[in-house]
Amino acid sequence: MDNIPGVPGIGEKTALKLLNEFGSIENIYENIDKITAKKVKDNLINYKDQAFLSKSWLPLIKMFLLVLILMKWT
Protein backbone atom coordinates (compact mmCIF):
# COMPACT_ATOMS: atom_id res chain seq x y z
CA MET A 1 0.00 0.00 0.00
CA ASP A 2 1.48 3.32 -1.03
CA ASN A 3 1.11 6.76 0.47
CA ILE A 4 0.78 5.50 4.02
CA PRO A 5 3.34 7.34 6.12
CA GLY A 6 5.61 4.99 7.95
CA VAL A 7 8.66 5.56 10.10
CA PRO A 8 11.15 7.80 8.29
CA GLY A 9 14.37 6.00 7.45
CA ILE A 10 12.77 2.55 7.60
CA GLY A 11 12.10 1.16 4.20
CA GLU A 12 10.49 -2.03 3.05
CA LYS A 13 13.58 -4.19 3.59
CA THR A 14 14.19 -3.01 7.13
CA ALA A 15 10.50 -3.22 8.02
CA LEU A 16 10.30 -6.80 6.73
CA LYS A 17 13.46 -7.72 8.62
CA LEU A 18 12.02 -6.32 11.86
CA LEU A 19 8.65 -8.01 11.33
CA ASN A 20 10.31 -11.33 10.55
CA GLU A 21 12.40 -11.05 13.70
CA PHE A 22 9.73 -9.78 16.11
CA GLY A 23 6.45 -10.82 14.45
CA SER A 24 4.42 -7.63 14.89
CA ILE A 25 4.75 -3.90 15.38
CA GLU A 26 3.71 -4.35 18.99
CA ASN A 27 6.52 -6.86 19.57
CA ILE A 28 9.02 -4.57 17.85
CA TYR A 29 8.28 -1.89 20.44
CA GLU A 30 8.24 -4.38 23.32
CA ASN A 31 11.76 -5.41 22.26
CA ILE A 32 13.05 -2.00 21.18
CA ASP A 33 16.20 -2.44 23.31
CA LYS A 34 17.20 -5.46 21.21
CA ILE A 35 17.49 -3.30 18.07
CA THR A 36 21.16 -2.48 17.67
CA ALA A 37 21.04 -0.16 14.66
CA LYS A 38 21.02 3.25 16.38
CA LYS A 39 19.30 5.24 13.62
CA VAL A 40 16.59 2.58 13.16
CA LYS A 41 16.01 2.41 16.92
CA ASP A 42 15.95 6.21 17.27
CA ASN A 43 13.50 6.60 14.39
CA LEU A 44 11.23 3.89 15.79
CA ILE A 45 11.19 5.66 19.14
CA ASN A 46 10.71 9.15 17.70
CA TYR A 47 7.94 8.12 15.29
CA LYS A 48 6.12 5.52 17.40
CA ASP A 49 2.79 7.37 17.28
CA GLN A 50 3.02 7.70 13.49
CA ALA A 51 3.79 3.99 13.13
CA PHE A 52 0.71 2.94 15.10
CA LEU A 53 -1.49 5.54 13.41
CA SER A 54 -0.46 4.21 10.01
CA LYS A 55 -1.20 0.66 11.16
CA SER A 56 -4.69 1.73 12.23
CA TRP A 57 -5.39 3.14 8.74
CA LEU A 58 -4.75 -0.15 6.93
CA PRO A 59 -8.14 -1.81 7.55
CA LEU A 60 -9.93 1.34 6.39
CA ILE A 61 -7.84 1.62 3.26
CA LYS A 62 -8.33 -2.06 2.44
CA MET A 63 -12.09 -1.71 2.88
CA PHE A 64 -12.14 1.37 0.67
CA LEU A 65 -10.20 -0.41 -2.07
CA LEU A 66 -12.53 -3.41 -1.84
CA VAL A 67 -15.56 -1.13 -2.24
CA LEU A 68 -13.98 0.48 -5.29
CA ILE A 69 -13.32 -2.92 -6.83
CA LEU A 70 -16.87 -4.10 -6.12
CA MET A 71 -18.33 -0.90 -7.59
CA LYS A 72 -16.32 -1.44 -10.75
CA TRP A 73 -17.70 -4.98 -11.15
CA THR A 74 -21.35 -4.02 -10.62
Residue pLDDT, tens place only, 9-66 = 998 899 999 999 999 999 999 999 999 999 999 999 999 998 888 877 677 777 888 8
Are 4 and 58 within 8 A, CB to CB?
yes
Is the pLDDT at 1 greater than 70? The verdict is: no
pLDDT at 66: 87
Contact yes or no for 8/43 (Cβ under 8 A) = yes
DSSP 34-63: G---HHHHHHHHHTHHHHHHHHHHHHHHHH
Q: How confident is the model at residue 3 (pLDDT cuts 50, 70, 90)?
A: low
pLDDT score of 46: 96
Q: Look at the pTM and tell me if it is higher than 0.75.
A: no
